[in-house]
Every structure is written in structure tokens, then in C-alpha cells.
Amino acid sequence: MQHINITGIGKALPSNEVTASMIDKQCNLAEGTTLRITGLEKRYFLKDESASTLMLKAIHQALDNAKLKVDDIDCIIAASATMQQAIPYNGAGVHRLLKPKRNIPSFDINMTCLSALRAFDIASNLLETYPTILIVSCDIASIGLDWSDIRTAGIFGDGAAAMVVQKSSKGGIVVSNFETHSEGFEYCQIEGGGSMNPPSAYDGDYNDLAMFRMDGKKLFKLSAKILPNFIHNTLKTKGLTLNDID
């Protein structure tokens, strides 16, 4: 067992609440369309704040919850799908925001929606070296949504979350598993912003490449195909089955 304990958590949302009805009006859709398609009555989009503001709020909530100070942190893991800028990495930006007295290590985990979960798993293996680890995730999805695709754009919002993890003498991670199924590489992507499609080599409207695209149907089909065996095989490594889950 990987002995890890979440000793503090925090979250932050923008003050700008966006309802399904507001999106219907913005996109010239019949009243009730967005709610019917997404099942979400509201979400929050950044307006007057910044990603840094949200991160700081979530981090300080987590530290207060853990009864710790900034200088108690031994390592920072920034685990987000998006970043404030391409270089330097997010973790360095978080370090600069917090201004710790020590030059503690920091790094990023960029695995889109899985980033925070993967960060937690990796942190569990680092606690011998770094007894107190801060994990922070902040995503501002609203800036890259294509509103002509309401099925995708309508399910996203902005926000930040943070957790402090420390070694535990009792509980922990019984089993974990991560796999890469790259046949779904093109099902969720932002094509621009990297070396494959730089602005200098693109003749069209670069905004098209800067938008988040997702093929939800193909993604669901792939996930449904993979998950049953993935869960079974993961539990099997510890001699468990679904019947053992409480």
C-alpha cells in the first residue's frame, strides 16, 4: 500500500455564474436546449479574476485546512490541462505566486482531465523525500471553447482546486493503474500552440486551431470498450474483484 493522506483541500470558482439559459440566448438556441443536452444548470466562467487569483484562493484554503503555512510545503505539483503560458511551466508560476522562503522543487503533470489524479498517484511515491506536497489544478476552459459545438462547450467551466498530501501511517492507495490508449489521440485536442502547427506555418484563422475539440461519441465508445477489462485487471493485481468494493 502507498501510504498517503489528504490533509487539506481547497477550491475556488470565478464569481461569474453562467446558466444554461444564458448560453441558450448567447448561441441563439431554443430555451432549454443547453440544459437538455448537458444536464448542467450552471457553470462558472472567468471574468474579473485571473487564473492566479483562483489558484491562490484554493491553495490557501487547502493550507488552512491542513493547518500549515506556505513554508511547510516541500514540493509543488501543478496538475492542469491548461497553462497560463507555454514557458515556463505552471509549477514555477505557482512557486512565484506563493513566494516560499525555500527554493522547493516543482513540476507539472499535464494529462488533461487525469492530471490531478495522476499527480496524487505520483505524490504517493515521493513522500519519503518530500513529506508535504501541494497539488494544485486550475483550468480556464472558457477561453478555448467552440460554441458551435454545444455538446462539448456546454459541459465545461473554470475553476481551481488544491490539496495537501502527507504520509499516512494508516490509510493509503490500495491499488492504482494508468494506461495509455493512443488510438483516441485525436478525440480530444487543441491542435495549435505547439511545434506541429505554429502560427507562422498556418495560412488560415489560427483561432480555429486554438479551440478545444472533442468527439464525445468516439471517446465514449473507446472508454466503454476499455474500462471493464481495465477495472478487472487492476483489481486482480491485488486479488480483488468488484464484489470486494464497498
Residue pLDDT tens, the chain, 246 long: 789 999 999 999 999 999 999 999 999 999 999 999 999 999 999 998 999 999 999 999 999 999 999 999 999 999 999 889 989 999 999 999 999 999 999 999 999 999 999 999 999 999 999 999 999 999 999 999 999 999 999 999 999 999 999 998 888 999 999 999 999 999 999 999 999 999 998 888 899 999 999 999 999 999 999 999 999 999 999 999 999 999
Say what the pLDDT of residue 202 is: 87
Question: Is 206 strand, coil or helix?
Answer: coil
Report the 3 state secondary structure along 51-82: HHHHHHHHHHHHHHHHCCCHHHCCEEEEECCC
Say what the pLDDT of residue 1 is: 73
C-alpha cell at 92: 514555477
What single letter denotes the amino acid at residue 29?
Answer: L
Residue 33 lies in a domain: yes
- The partner residues of 163 in beta bridges, in order of sequence, read 9, 135
Residue 173 lies in a domain: no
Shared-domain flag, residues 32 and 153 = yes
Sign of CA dihedral 223, 229, 233, 235: positive
Shared-domain flag, residues 191 and 132 = no
Distance CA 58, CA 78 (A): 13
Domain that holds residue 224: 182-244
Q: DSSP class of residue 2? A: B
Say what the pLDDT of residue 226 is: 98
Say what the pLDDT of residue 179 is: 97
Spell out where the chain has E strands. 5-12, 17-19, 42-44, 75-79, 106-109, 132-140, 158-166, 188-189, 213-214
Distance CA 109, CA 88 (A): 13
Q: How far is CA 42 from CA 18, 29, 30, 34, 132, in A?
A: 6, 16, 17, 10, 35
Residue 174 lies in a domain: no
- The partner residues of 5 in beta bridges, in order of sequence, read 166
Q: Which of 166, 197, 228 is the last residue of a domain?
A: 166
- Start-to-end CA span in the chain (Å): 18
Shared-domain flag, residues 151 and 92 = yes
Say what the pLDDT of residue 203 is: 87
Shared-domain flag, residues 119 and 226 = no
Rounded to two decimals, the pTM is 0.94
Say what the pLDDT of residue 90 is: 96
CATH label of the domain that carries residue 150: 3.40.47.10
Q: Is 134 exposed, middle or buried (0-12, 13-18, 19+ CB in 10 A)?
A: buried
Number of domains in the chain: 2
